[in-house]
Structure 1
């Protein structure tokens, strides 16, 4: 493949601290990368920017990087461009985790403002050294920031703009302070007293939403009740801000919270975190109960949208039986799996063919370059013959890939093995092969599955 048709992805990153630093902004990086790609006749297939994210964060916590690596795995990227090595990673360990993906798919990277390569032992050593330096610098910066934050907390100053409801940042005598929000003070006091009375996060949330015409979710209320600021303290400062309650009342609330936590490992839900609400897109949660039929009692497990039954935010009221869902999935999972397997086989064959053709083109270009150098008298005939013959042999050995085989995800006799699993085992089974379960709003709904291969 010629350089004119090389597909490149542009990657940009700044951490919160670096956003205001000249030359490190996302837009400055974007302009530099676009110009480089244009000057070098590179085809940009995508731009990926992680804004406000540290270079010491792993791939899974960098959304743009994760998306770009998925494009790499799909065989759509030949080269990744970024401005400097520290925009890519500031950790040696995390760098090599991403590099494994690039190596597996023959994707290179280039820092356009620095001279780095991984094609030689010296180049690899240089990258390791510079990453180690960048990692050390980031860790020292983090230590300085922690020291500054600790000093601010000691002096009662805010260290973040994100505060629990009922508080706001005010400037007093030229210094910022965390103070009660007069507009929310009555409601926060009511939340605390309602929880102490009901000892239920759900009932507290519903009552407060109705009384004050709010749309808070249960997590917001929980975060308020668990935040030590409501007792006037924060980290090591016992008098950080004006309290809503005493330390004794705060500890009582935490005790109630701990007493209300119930967990039974035997009651694993098969489809936990897999079912998507068709109304709001929220992941539906499981619940259990007992029903009577005549003189007999039956236990059941169902799924419902938490935004509907907890906060009255979602209008989807329907519950879905685990047993019914399980039977519907079992009846269609094997057919769906075979369809996904066939698609995966075709995609892998296409990707391997493209890689072989790319290597053929690279070999041809190298042969042309050798011939040019030889005709100019810049290479001895013996060396020319040796290198040219080696390239000719490699070119001749490159064959179209044989038809790939993708192992069936489900082995023979899988249904009997499934029936023998306990609840936790069945949960792991479905998590291994199903990405999401989409249900419709109809009573007799069909299911849509997205498989993991």
Structure 2
């Protein structure tokens, strides 16, 4: 008797309560041999949840291949291998049916009556979905309990690894050394770009094997787990508390770097170029007062080469009729003259052009307090509904009230205006002038200028400049 062509699909999720792929394959081949099936294709999704089919590449390939007519049956160990979402289960089974492919579970009833099979599919699909939801709730509950105890759950971040024998998170010393270098580099004035460049040159990549770019450097530096603190939201509950992890850097170093990150964020636009690739210390600072567009640095050819100039970008595109251009040397001289004039005189006329920063909170305290108050309300409702005992309610109330008071105290130290120190500002101004007039490299001049100057309105035709500063 001629054997029927079939494919087999195997999946093992990460909950560790499944038959292994090898075990599934052995039983599927045994079933095929007993029942006259010739297995011509295998599809395997390993370590992947069955809740959403779109996240299972082998499954989606199998659905696509079912249109080719290469096989007329698909063998699976049980219906949970196929899908744990009721709607998706019925949808993809209907697609296979339309393609003339029968789905066969080797451990469950398979009936020839379409209506009875529909009832069974609906029942098994609903059961599988209920299982997934229950499992998800149990996992979430476990993570919440860990967070309350200050324990870390989930995939270890860069700098840590999970000791499977003791079920604890430990410092990965080679990665921790890289993180400490990154914190030291920021404290010494390095940019995210220069750190990312150094890491790329050394072949250092992320946990997932990806290149660590400037944005990733910033995110890694901002992760409070590096100072031994936990910040997570699990099951609608937010946690920001000291963990039981050994810190990679001290809280003092971590908090100082966060201040630098906040300061840089207040002075640099979101998509501004790294200092290392700018052509001039005025690049990105000059603004046309007529169209509010930026000036572009332009080099010019000729023999001998003509002097480079700054030109209104919108004028180049024909969008600014009043824009103009100016030789770089000329605008340099104008800016330096103005800076010296401001340094030598009173700051009062320029106070409106000086942005005095405020200390911004690292977290939204009011949002966190609202979440905790909601949890407090739910804890009371659970007690009144006799879901929780009085002892459990008292424990939850004590914990949540203490967290609310802790966050309120932290909030009191935020959003304070930093007093403006005129003498300190003038000292900064003098340092900037000295550096800009020196023979130091361009990246150093760029960093120096941008540490103090926010923007400059330049009108070459009127030969006027208006400077705006950071305090």
Length-normalised TM-score, structure 2: 0.48
How far did residue 169 of structure 1 move? 4.2
Identify which of 8, 11, 28 aligns with 2:9: 11
Identify which of 156, 164, 177 aligns with 2:157: 164
Please say if residues 154 and 237 of structure 1, whose CA atoms lie closer than 8 Å, have aligned partners that are also in contact: no
For residues 111 and 34 of structure 2, what CA distance do their matches in structure 1 show?
Answer: 20
Identify which of 221, 225, 239 aligns with 2:221: 225
1:178 is matched with 169
How far did residue 5 of structure 1 move? 4.5
For residues 293 and 69 of structure 1, what CA distance do their matches in structure 2 show?
Answer: 59
Identify which of 42, 58, 61 aligns with 1:64: 58
- Aligned in 2, Cα 1:123/1:176: closer, same or farther, shift over 3 Å? closer
For residues 32 and 9 of structure 2, what CA distance do their matches in structure 1 show?
Answer: 12
1:262 is matched with 271
List gaps (5 residues or longer) in structure 1: 264-288, 300-453
Please say if residues 4 and 43 of structure 1, whose CA atoms lie closer than 8 Å, have aligned partners that are also in contact: no
How far did residue 80 of structure 1 move? 0.9
Counterpart of 2:104 in 1: which secondary structure? strand
Are 1:239 and 2:213 an aligned pair?
no
For residues 117 and 132 of structure 1, what CA distance do their matches in structure 2 show?
Answer: 18
Counterpart of 2:84 in 1: which secondary structure? coil
Are 1:202 and 2:193 an aligned pair?
yes
Counterpart of 2:43 in 1: which secondary structure? strand
Please say if residues 15 and 54 of structure 1, whose CA atoms lie closer than 8 Å, have aligned partners that are also in contact: yes
Larger C-alpha radius of gyration, 1 or 2? 2
Counterpart of 2:108 in 1: which secondary structure? coil
Counterpart of 2:9 in 1: which secondary structure? strand
1:369 is matched with none
Please, which moves more after superposition, 128-137 or 199-208?
A: 199-208
How far did residue 90 of structure 1 move? 0.9
Please say if residues 150 and 241 of structure 2, whose CA atoms lie closer than 8 Å, have aligned partners that are also in contact: no
For residues 131 and 179 of structure 1, what CA distance do their matches in structure 2 show?
Answer: 41
Counterpart of 1:4 in 2: which secondary structure? coil
1:380-416 Cα distance to aligned partner (Å, 9 max, x none) = xxxxxxxxxxxxxxxxxxxxxxxxxxxxxxxxxxxxx
Please say if residues 13 and 49 of structure 1, whose CA atoms lie closer than 8 Å, have aligned partners that are also in contact: yes
List gaps (5 residues or longer) in structure 2: 233-238, 273-295, 302-308, 318-471
How far did residue 198 of structure 1 move? 5.7
Counterpart of 2:10 in 1: which secondary structure? strand
For residues 51 and 189 of structure 1, what CA distance do their matches in structure 2 show?
Answer: 36
Counterpart of 2:156 in 1: which secondary structure? coil
Please say if residues 14 and 51 of structure 1, whose CA atoms lie closer than 8 Å, have aligned partners that are also in contact: yes
For residues 98 and 257 of structure 1, what CA distance do their matches in structure 2 show?
Answer: 48
How far did residue 185 of structure 1 move? 3.5
Length-normalised TM-score, structure 1: 0.50
For residues 261 and 103 of structure 1, what CA distance do their matches in structure 2 show?
Answer: 51
1:236-280 Cα distance to aligned partner (Å, 9 max, x none) = 2511124425474465476457966439xxxxxxxxxxxxxxxxx
How many residues were matched structurally?
264
For residues 265 and 4 of structure 2, what CA distance do their matches in structure 1 show?
Answer: 57
For residues 6 and 291 of structure 1, what CA distance do their matches in structure 2 show?
Answer: 72
Please say if residues 117 and 124 of structure 1, whose CA atoms lie closer than 8 Å, have aligned partners that are also in contact: no
Are 1:35 and 2:30 an aligned pair?
yes
Are 1:139 and 2:133 an aligned pair?
yes
Please say if residues 166 and 184 of structure 1, whose CA atoms lie closer than 8 Å, have aligned partners that are also in contact: yes
